Amino acid sequence: MAEILDFIREVVAEDVRSGKHEGRVATRFPPEPNGYLHIGHAKSICLNFGVAEELGGTCNLRFDDTNPTKEEVEYVDSIKESVRWLGFDWGDREYYASDYFDRLYDYAVDLIKAGKAYVDALSADQIRQYRGTLTEPGRNSPHRDRPIEESLDLFARMRAGEFADGALVLRARIDMASPNINMRDPTLYRILKVPHHRSGDTWCIYPMYDYAHPISDALERITHSLCTLEFEDHRPLYDWTLDQLDVPSHPQQIEFARLNVSYTVLSKRRLLELVEGHDVSGWDDPRMPTLVGLRRRGYTPGSIRDFCRRIGVAKKESVVDVAMLEHCLREDLNRWVPRRMAVLRPLRVVIENYPEGQAEEVDVINNPEDASAGTRKVPFSRVLYIERDDFREDPPKKFYRLAPGREVRLRCAYFLRCTGVVKDAKTGDIVELRCTYDRATRGGNAPNGRKVKATLHWVSATHAIPAEVRLYDRLFSVESPGAGGRDYKEDLNPDSLEVVKPCYLEPGLAAATVGEHYQFERLGYFSVDLDSRDGQLVFNRTVTLKDAWARIEGRNLVDSR
């Protein structure tokens, strides 16, 4: 398929043509290990690794681990696993900003010596007050003109642990009147007496992201530093930092719009709150937009890559309809997932003219859209389960399925006619249907060309295996959770998880293993959940069969905000 050229791919391809950066392409995916990756990160991963792959370049995996208070090894491990799962390989190019702590420190000393940085004693609050606003310039700190020697001494003593957290900071000395607030002497280093997941107790001062990031990029000789739009205003600082220092290269920062998806939140902070508040079962809850959640739900890496390709890369913020993600998933699953029969809400059917104690095997088509998938044997007997929804005692107009006196087809088996209804004497609930079958319709077709209006899936009650099935709806009940200043948690969908059991599956499914996909005919795509135990399978509904996308095809898939 021809690659869709977006503005970033155009810039990078042009740089290769013109020989900028010696014609090299080097990108990086720079997660902060403070949470699990989500579908928004997939966009960045596909872009960074994709651009490198297409243009014969390299893409580094770099952990931006400059904030020890929120970072953990657990996150590093899961991030690596998710990037690999998505289908990308960073080879031996696994880097950590923390590996550069020594050099970052030395560069900071260079800045001080050049009069481009100073140690400030203002408190965080004071720094905020001095910073000014969008309409008012900031004011110089009284320590801004501190002699270079003094700053050097204080900075060394900050590193040595002589001062308490927050007592001093190192600030760039740029311009307190700059119209860009990021340029008003931003903080470069702060004291944090917190051990780091990699450097341990070696450091008690840590570099700020805006300082560490450009230097890390330059040390790795990145050519194109792709980041999301919120960093656009930080670009002057990115360039300023590199311009002051004797670094091996000067990468070019290019910003693109972050991915937003309707009916969910894509912020690690909020996702962590959902986990910690037990609103979901964990980072890998199948309703979560995290890559581990999507994976557990049954999303395939190919469908996510396809999604990222289709949404493209632009400079304008937008919200992508979650139906688009589901569409990509169905397209993938539809091609290769085997069909099976399962009854989620069983209604017992007794076939009065089928001999008691007898059973037979019928040949059921594995994939109606792919003849080469062949058939399989499924047991049929006197007592079956059908879907409760497939019967109405008093059928409304346009209900063509089973009803008293009516005939339907059992998929690949026989025609079945309902002759009676058995009810619970107390509650009046229907507990069983009495039916007859027509022996002459074996395989599901009448020799005389007699027609029925519906085909139902079914399982043999004595042969079926019970299972638990988890049905999911959107995690949030509104398109933009938390819009208009509401607490986004108020928008959680209370019905996002429905556990159905026992469901009954055709017996061949007893051999299903964790992670496998099946289409349950007429019900959707399902995958085997990792909660499955011997003798107790648990299935997740990955996605329903109906392509809501078909109905909204006329609509813009990306709503611009």
- Of residues 210 and 306, the one with the C-beta less far from Mg ion: 210
The 10 Å Cβ neighbour count of residue 156 is: 14
In whole angstroms, how close is the CB of 279 to ligand ATP at the nearest point?
17
Q: Which does 227 bind (CB under 5 to 8 A by kind): Mg ion, ligand ATP, none?
A: ligand ATP
End-to-end CA distance of the chain: 30
Restricted to residues 26-55, the positions that interact with Mg ion (CB under 5 A) are 32
Supply the DSSP symbol for 390: G
Restricted to residues 247-266, the positions that interact with ligand ATP (CB under 6 A) are 258-259, 266
Residue 31 binds to ligand ATP (criterion: CB under 6 A): yes
- Of residues 38 and 406, the one with the C-beta less far from ligand ATP: 38
| Residues 192, 206: Cα–Cα separation, whole Å | 7
Helix, coil or strand: residue 237: helix
Q: What are the φ and ψ backbone dihedral angles of 186, each rounded to 5 degrees?
A: -65, 150
Residue 44 binds to ligand ATP (criterion: CB under 6 A): yes
Helix, coil or strand: residue 101: helix
> Up-side HSE of residue 311: CA atoms within 13 Å toward CB?
34
| Chosen residue from 41, 116, 196, 224 binding ligand ATP by CB under 6 A | 41
Q: Is 268 an annotated catalytic residue?
A: yes
- Of residues 78 and 441, the one with the C-beta less far from ligand ATP: 78
In whole angstroms, how close is the CB of 329 to ligand ATP at the nearest point?
19
Q: Length of the chain, please? A: 561
Place of tokens 């107390």: 426
Q: Are 420 and 432 in contact (CB under 8 A)?
A: no
Quick one: tokens of 429? Answer: 């609930």
| Residues 180, 202: Cα–Cα separation, whole Å | 34
Q: Which of 268, 287, 340, 382 is catalytic?
A: 268
Q: Which of 32, 54, 72, 331 is catalytic?
A: 32
Q: Is the dihedral of CA 92, 97, 101, 107 positive or negative?
A: positive
- Of residues 234 and 330, the one with the C-beta less far from ligand ATP: 234
In whole angstroms, how close is the CB of 42 to ligand ATP at the nearest point?
8
In whole angstroms, how close is the CB of 101 to ligand ATP at the nearest point?
19
| Residues 451, 551: Cα–Cα separation, whole Å | 30
Which range touches ligand ATP (CB under 6 A), out of 40-48, 130-138, 368-376, 468-476? Answer: 40-48
Residue 322 binds to ligand ATP (criterion: CB under 6 A): no
In whole angstroms, how close is the CB of 32 to Mg ion at the nearest point?
5
What b/e sequence results for 419-436 when a residue is b if at least 16 CB atoms lie within 10 Å of its CB, and e otherwise?
eeeeeeeeeeebeebebb
Q: Which does 300 bind (CB under 5 to 8 A by kind): ligand ATP, Mg ion, none?
A: none
Residue 32 binds to ligand ATP (criterion: CB under 6 A): yes
| Interacting residues toward Mg ion by CB under 5 A | 32
Residues annotated as catalytic (active site), given as ranges: 32, 258, 268
| Interacting residues toward ligand ATP by CB under 6 A | 30-32, 40-41, 43-44, 227-228, 258-259, 266-269
